[in-house]
Amino acid sequence: MLVKDYMTRHPILVDTSRRVVEAQRLMAESKVGHLPVVADGKRLLGMVSRAALSLRPEQLEGLSFWDLTDYMARLTVGRVMTPLSDIHTISPSSTLEEAADLMIAGHVTALPVVEEGGVVVGIITQTDLMVELRNLLGAIEPGWRVVLRVPDREGEFRKIMLALATSNWGVMAMGCVRSPRHPGFWDVLVKVRYCEREELVAELKKIAGQEIIDIRETTSYTER
């Protein structure tokens, strides 16, 4: 899963001379929270967010209505953007994991996607990653969502695969993470269909050393 497959292609771009009020209108109309700022076609210069376009109270002190109107009319994106030196970018060939790691490390919710020469080819956001996480875990598919707590030792995942394969059920998704509060264990999520709850529980309980910690039917997620 690479950034190029999940990013928004051809994002709305603005230049440094674009007025802030126009950028705000573009964001509102397009329902986006970030605009890459470019020059010379699509060469990235920086990024502007909704927060950056919002005036702080101290900026309004002492301004009359007419002063404020004039100030806003003259205020440009170039004066409020975050410059290229202070933002994180990512390549279209990078993985989604790398994108998530950059967002976490930089405390940001969006990354401009650039090719060689700093040319903007897309943007990937926190929402894009959450949508893919939802899809990766089969959340939009109806079925049984089971979480097993599994010891961190060789062969445990194979036991789950054998149990599911011999039962001829439909497996839509699987994922695992280290158990957050139980060192030495993994929490394995499996999304299964074409079975009844009772037979699924009965089969998984046969796996020695593993514990079902949650099982529920999911039917109400909305597809994007």
Q: Residue 135: pLDDT above 90? A: no
Domains and CATH numbers, the chain: 3-132 (3.10.580.10), 137-218 (3.30.70.260)
The model's pLDDT over 10-54, given as tens digits with 9 standing for 90+, comes to 999 999 999 988 998 999 999 999 999 999 889 999 999 888 776
Q: How far apart are CA 105 and CA 149, in angstroms?
A: 29
Report pLDDT for 54. 65
Q: What is the average pLDDT value for the chain, to the nearest integer?
A: 88
The model's pLDDT over 107-127, given as tens digits with 9 standing for 90+, comes to 999 999 999 889 999 999 999
The model's pLDDT over 82-109, given as tens digits with 9 standing for 90+, comes to 999 999 999 999 999 999 999 999 999 9
Report pLDDT for 224. 43
**22: helix, coil or strand?**
helix
Integer CA distances (angstroms), 106 to 57, 73, 88, in order: 26, 32, 7
β-strands 8-9, 185-193 pairing? unpaired
Q: Residue 205: pLDDT above 70? A: yes
